[in-house]
Structure 1
Amino acid sequence: MKKLVLGAVLLTLTMTSCSDKKPTETAVESNVMLEEPKPVDTAVSSAKSGTLTPEAEGKELLEGMDCLSCHKVDAKLVGPSYQDVAAKYSEADIDMLAQKIIDGGKGNWGDIPMTPHAGMSKENAQKMVKYILSLRK
């Protein structure tokens, strides 16, 4: 009898571990991050095709990241609006702003820190900054 029960348990475990698992809820629905975000450099395929301007690529990169949870184009959310950033900085600040996206920061716009994006390339961060600066009124 013990062998029969043990066999049934092992069979159930084998079938469960080999079955096609599909999540029942998404990370957004449960408000829990299920996996580490992929680096931006591999996440944007159309930007790699070379058919977009750096500003358009930057816009795509921003939309594929977590930036929109804290920033909006024309209104302050948690962080400053992109238009406010564009009004404060110029093209001479592209490298500095790109590094801030990568390293994160605190203090320039208040006490709430900006999350670092350490897996992002400097080139992609610069494209994002170029898009933001293109929103200057």
Structure 2
Amino acid sequence: MLLRCVLLSLLLATPVLAAEPQDLARNKNCFACHGLENKIVGPAWKDIAARYKGQKGAEQLLAAKIKNGSHGAWGPIAMPPNPVSDAEASQLAKWMLTRKY
């Protein structure tokens, strides 16, 4: 019984990531400002992928921007901080970097 309680506690404490990063992006309203192929308010994800292609530390940099917000990288409109966990921000950044340009 104790083992069951411990395992259940671990399961409940582990962040659950969306099965598909695109679903996570949809659930976090990323598409309200970013299109996959086209700029909306912020840049298209394919353009972000092209800018950061091959850049060391790009995933961590983008994850931080997703979570904490950003200003000035793509123009005068700031991206506000987003209500995502570190794991979700990392998952979104990793997926973003795989977009084709």
Aligned partner of 1:3 in structure 2 is none
Aligned partner of 1:84 in structure 2 is 47
Distance 1:59 1:130 in 2: 11
Distance 1:96 1:133 in 2: 11
Mapping of 1:16-55 within 5 angstroms? 47=18, 52=19
| Structure 2 gap segments, 5+ residues each | 1-14
Q: How many residues align?
A: 85
**Equivalent residue letter for 1:127:** Q
Question: What TM-score do the two structures reach when normalised by structure 2?
Answer: 0.75
- SS of the residue aligned with 1:61? helix
| Structure 1 gap segments, 5+ residues each | 1-40
Across the aligned residues of Structure 1 and Structure 2, the Cα RMSD in angstroms comes to 1.7
1:127 corresponds to which of 81, 91, 94: 91
1:65 corresponds to which of 24, 28, 44: 28
- SS of the residue aligned with 1:73? coil
Q: Percent identity?
A: 33
**Equivalent residue letter for 1:101:** I
Distance 1:99 1:80 in 2: 17
- Tell me which structure has the larger Cα radius of gyration: 1
Over 4 Å off, 4+ runs: none
